Amino acid sequence: GAGVSQSPSNKVTEKGKDVELRCDPISGHTALYWYRQRLGQGLEFLIYFQGNSAPDKSGLPSDRFSAERTGESVSTLTIQRTQQEDSAVYLCASTRGGGGYGYTFGSGTRLTVV
Amino acid sequence: GQQLNQSPQSMFIQEGEDVSMNCTSSSIFNTWLWYKQDPGEGPVLLIALYKAGELTSNGRLTAQFGITRKDSFLNISASIPSDVGIYFCAGQRPGGQNFVFGPGTRLSVLP
Protein backbone atom coordinates (compact mmCIF):
# COMPACT_ATOMS: atom_id res chain seq x y z
CA GLY A 1 0.00 0.00 0.00
CA ALA A 2 0.89 3.67 -0.10
CA GLY A 3 1.69 3.90 3.58
CA VAL A 4 2.17 1.84 6.71
CA SER A 5 -1.21 0.65 7.91
CA GLN A 6 -1.91 -0.31 11.52
CA SER A 7 -4.99 -1.87 13.03
CA PRO A 8 -6.91 -1.40 15.14
CA SER A 9 -6.40 2.33 15.57
CA ASN A 10 -7.76 2.12 19.10
CA LYS A 11 -8.07 -0.82 21.47
CA VAL A 12 -9.48 -0.90 24.97
CA THR A 13 -8.94 -4.13 26.84
CA GLU A 14 -9.35 -5.46 30.34
CA LYS A 15 -6.33 -6.14 32.47
CA GLY A 16 -5.18 -9.73 32.04
CA LYS A 17 -6.50 -10.15 28.51
CA ASP A 18 -4.29 -10.79 25.46
CA VAL A 19 -4.19 -8.34 22.55
CA GLU A 20 -2.90 -8.52 18.98
CA LEU A 21 -1.82 -5.47 17.06
CA ARG A 22 -1.31 -5.60 13.32
CA CYS A 23 1.04 -3.76 10.99
CA ASP A 24 0.97 -3.73 7.19
CA PRO A 25 4.26 -2.27 5.95
CA ILE A 26 4.85 -0.46 2.69
CA SER A 27 5.17 -2.95 -0.14
CA GLY A 28 8.81 -3.73 -0.84
CA HIS A 29 10.08 -2.51 2.53
CA THR A 30 12.24 -5.24 3.95
CA ALA A 31 12.71 -3.82 7.43
CA LEU A 32 9.94 -3.43 10.00
CA TYR A 33 10.11 -1.93 13.49
CA TRP A 34 7.78 -1.71 16.47
CA TYR A 35 8.04 1.16 18.93
CA ARG A 36 6.04 2.05 22.02
CA GLN A 37 5.15 5.62 22.95
CA ARG A 38 3.79 6.30 26.42
CA LEU A 39 1.77 9.46 26.95
CA GLY A 40 4.00 12.51 26.64
CA GLN A 41 7.10 10.40 26.09
CA GLY A 42 9.47 9.63 23.27
CA LEU A 43 9.56 6.42 21.28
CA GLU A 44 10.83 3.23 22.89
CA PHE A 45 12.26 0.56 20.58
CA LEU A 46 10.65 -2.86 20.92
CA ILE A 47 11.62 -5.17 18.05
CA TYR A 48 13.12 -5.10 14.55
CA PHE A 49 12.65 -7.46 11.59
CA GLN A 50 14.90 -7.49 8.53
CA GLY A 51 13.89 -9.84 5.74
CA ASN A 52 14.23 -13.45 6.83
CA SER A 53 16.92 -12.77 9.41
CA ALA A 54 16.36 -13.48 13.09
CA PRO A 55 14.58 -10.50 14.64
CA ASP A 56 16.26 -8.13 17.09
CA LYS A 57 14.09 -8.55 20.19
CA SER A 58 16.35 -6.59 22.51
CA GLY A 59 13.73 -3.92 23.23
CA LEU A 60 10.87 -6.16 24.31
CA PRO A 61 10.14 -5.22 27.95
CA SER A 62 9.02 -8.65 29.16
CA ASP A 63 8.19 -12.15 27.98
CA ARG A 64 4.54 -11.11 27.75
CA PHE A 65 5.50 -9.29 24.55
CA SER A 66 6.12 -11.12 21.29
CA ALA A 67 5.99 -10.32 17.60
CA GLU A 68 5.92 -12.23 14.37
CA ARG A 69 6.49 -11.41 10.76
CA THR A 70 6.35 -13.75 7.82
CA GLY A 71 8.85 -12.77 5.15
CA GLU A 72 8.42 -9.14 4.18
CA SER A 73 4.72 -8.91 4.89
CA VAL A 74 2.40 -8.26 7.79
CA SER A 75 3.64 -8.22 11.36
CA THR A 76 1.67 -8.92 14.52
CA LEU A 77 2.65 -7.68 17.98
CA THR A 78 1.07 -9.72 20.76
CA ILE A 79 0.83 -8.67 24.39
CA GLN A 80 -0.27 -11.41 26.77
CA ARG A 81 -1.89 -10.85 30.16
CA THR A 82 -2.00 -7.10 29.63
CA GLN A 83 -1.17 -4.77 32.50
CA GLN A 84 -2.14 -1.12 32.97
CA GLU A 85 1.45 -0.04 32.33
CA ASP A 86 1.10 -1.49 28.82
CA SER A 87 -1.23 1.39 27.96
CA ALA A 88 0.50 3.36 25.21
CA VAL A 89 0.51 4.03 21.50
CA TYR A 90 2.23 1.23 19.60
CA LEU A 91 3.85 2.48 16.42
CA CYS A 92 5.01 0.39 13.51
CA ALA A 93 7.50 1.63 10.91
CA SER A 94 9.02 0.17 7.78
CA THR A 95 11.95 1.08 5.58
CA ARG A 96 13.59 -0.09 2.38
CA GLY A 97 16.50 -1.67 4.17
CA GLY A 98 18.14 -1.87 7.53
CA GLY A 99 20.26 1.05 8.48
CA GLY A 100 19.94 4.72 7.88
CA TYR A 101 17.16 5.28 5.37
CA GLY A 102 14.79 6.63 7.96
CA TYR A 103 11.47 5.08 8.76
CA THR A 104 7.96 5.62 7.53
CA PHE A 105 5.61 5.30 10.48
CA GLY A 106 2.02 4.18 10.68
CA SER A 107 -0.51 6.14 12.72
CA GLY A 108 -0.23 3.73 15.59
CA THR A 109 -2.57 1.69 17.75
CA ARG A 110 -3.64 3.38 20.96
CA LEU A 111 -3.93 0.65 23.60
CA THR A 112 -5.76 1.33 26.82
CA VAL A 113 -5.76 -1.32 29.53
CA VAL A 114 -8.51 -0.83 32.11
CA GLY B 1 16.22 4.88 29.55
CA GLN B 2 16.64 7.86 27.28
CA GLN B 3 20.00 8.05 25.54
CA LEU B 4 19.27 11.25 23.68
CA ASN B 5 18.50 14.58 25.27
CA GLN B 6 16.44 17.24 23.56
CA SER B 7 16.16 20.88 24.49
CA PRO B 8 14.09 22.73 25.08
CA GLN B 9 11.41 20.34 26.32
CA SER B 10 8.75 22.77 25.14
CA MET B 11 8.60 26.22 23.65
CA PHE B 12 6.00 28.86 22.92
CA ILE B 13 6.78 31.25 20.10
CA GLN B 14 5.01 33.94 18.12
CA GLU B 15 4.04 33.24 14.53
CA GLY B 16 6.82 34.44 12.24
CA GLU B 17 9.63 33.83 14.71
CA ASP B 18 12.52 31.49 14.07
CA VAL B 19 12.91 28.36 16.18
CA SER B 20 16.00 26.46 17.22
CA MET B 21 16.12 23.13 19.05
CA ASN B 22 18.83 20.60 19.62
CA CYS B 23 19.59 17.02 20.41
CA THR B 24 22.63 15.76 22.32
CA SER B 25 24.08 12.45 23.34
CA SER B 26 27.07 11.05 25.17
CA SER B 27 27.46 8.49 22.35
CA ILE B 28 28.50 8.84 18.74
CA PHE B 29 25.86 8.39 16.06
CA ASN B 30 26.25 7.68 12.36
CA THR B 31 22.88 8.98 11.27
CA TRP B 32 20.56 11.63 12.68
CA LEU B 33 16.91 11.98 11.79
CA TRP B 34 14.41 14.67 12.67
CA TYR B 35 10.71 13.82 12.86
CA LYS B 36 7.54 15.81 13.53
CA GLN B 37 4.51 14.25 15.18
CA ASP B 38 1.02 15.70 15.03
CA PRO B 39 -1.61 14.62 17.57
CA GLY B 40 -2.97 11.15 16.85
CA GLU B 41 -0.51 10.52 14.06
CA GLY B 42 2.76 8.70 13.66
CA PRO B 43 5.97 10.73 13.34
CA VAL B 44 6.79 12.04 9.88
CA LEU B 45 10.38 12.28 8.69
CA LEU B 46 11.55 15.86 8.11
CA ILE B 47 15.27 15.64 7.51
CA ALA B 48 17.92 12.90 7.48
CA LEU B 49 21.63 13.57 8.09
CA TYR B 50 24.35 11.07 7.24
CA LYS B 51 27.71 12.85 7.62
CA ALA B 52 29.36 14.83 10.38
CA GLY B 53 29.11 18.53 9.59
CA GLU B 54 26.33 18.00 7.06
CA LEU B 55 23.87 20.87 6.80
CA THR B 56 20.58 20.03 5.08
CA SER B 57 17.49 22.10 4.35
CA ASN B 58 13.90 21.16 3.65
CA GLY B 59 11.90 24.30 2.93
CA ARG B 60 11.92 26.43 6.07
CA LEU B 61 13.69 23.69 8.03
CA THR B 62 17.44 23.37 8.37
CA ALA B 63 19.26 20.68 10.31
CA GLN B 64 22.92 20.01 10.98
CA PHE B 65 24.87 16.92 11.98
CA GLY B 66 27.32 18.02 14.66
CA ILE B 67 31.06 17.71 14.03
CA THR B 68 31.53 15.63 17.18
CA ARG B 69 28.77 13.25 15.93
CA LYS B 70 27.16 13.58 19.33
CA ASP B 71 24.66 16.29 18.53
CA SER B 72 22.34 17.76 15.96
CA PHE B 73 20.18 20.85 15.73
CA LEU B 74 17.01 21.77 13.88
CA ASN B 75 16.04 25.30 12.92
CA ILE B 76 12.66 26.42 11.66
CA SER B 77 12.47 29.84 10.06
CA ALA B 78 9.41 32.12 9.97
CA SER B 79 7.20 29.77 11.97
CA ILE B 80 3.56 29.27 11.00
CA PRO B 81 0.65 27.74 12.94
CA SER B 82 0.98 24.34 11.26
CA ASP B 83 4.49 23.98 12.70
CA VAL B 84 2.82 23.11 16.00
CA GLY B 85 3.66 19.60 17.13
CA ILE B 86 6.32 17.49 18.77
CA TYR B 87 9.74 17.32 17.16
CA PHE B 88 11.80 14.20 17.77
CA CYS B 89 15.43 13.58 16.99
CA ALA B 90 16.57 10.02 16.40
CA GLY B 91 20.08 8.64 16.12
CA GLN B 92 21.55 5.42 14.83
CA ARG B 93 24.71 4.16 16.49
CA PRO B 94 27.58 2.65 14.47
CA GLY B 95 26.64 -0.94 13.64
CA GLY B 96 23.12 -0.43 14.95
CA GLN B 97 19.97 -1.28 13.04
CA ASN B 98 17.38 0.59 15.07
CA PHE B 99 17.11 4.26 15.94
CA VAL B 100 17.12 5.70 19.43
CA PHE B 101 14.64 8.53 19.87
CA GLY B 102 14.86 11.60 22.04
CA PRO B 103 11.98 12.62 24.33
CA GLY B 104 10.86 15.36 21.96
CA THR B 105 10.46 19.13 21.89
CA ARG B 106 6.86 20.34 22.01
CA LEU B 107 6.38 23.46 19.89
CA SER B 108 3.44 25.81 20.26
CA VAL B 109 2.96 28.75 17.90
CA LEU B 110 0.95 31.72 19.11
CA PRO B 111 -0.90 33.79 16.50
Q: Kindly determine whether residue B98 and residue A41, on different chains, have CB atoms separated by under 8 Å.
A: no
Bridge partners, B22 (sequence order): B7, B73
Question: Of A30, A48, A94, A103, which to mutate for an interface test with B (greatest number of B Cβ within 10 Å)?
Answer: A103
A53-110 pLDDT, tens digit each:
889 999 999 999 999 998 788 999 999 999 999 999 999 999 886 555 678 999 999 9
Residues in chain B within 8 Å Cβ distance of A8:
none
Residues in chain B within 8 Å Cβ distance of A4:
42
Residue type, B103: P
Q: Element (H or E) spanning A75, and its range?
A: strand A75-79
| Selection from A60, A104, A56, A75 nearest residue A7 by Cα | A75
CA distance A27 to A72: 8
Residue type, A41: Q
Higher pLDDT, A14 or B94: A14
What is the pLDDT, as a whole number, of residue A23?
A: 97
B14-69 pLDDT, tens digit each:
999 999 999 999 999 999 999 999 988 999 999 999 999 999 999 999 999 999 99
Residue type, B44: V
Phi, psi of B108 (to 5 degrees): -120, 135
Residue type, B22: N
Q: Are A88 and A111 in contact (CB under 8 A)?
A: yes
CA distance B105 to B89: 9
* Facing residue for A102 by CB, picked from B2, B48, B98: B48
Residue B32, min C-alpha distance to chain A (Å): 8
DSSP one-letter code for B65: E
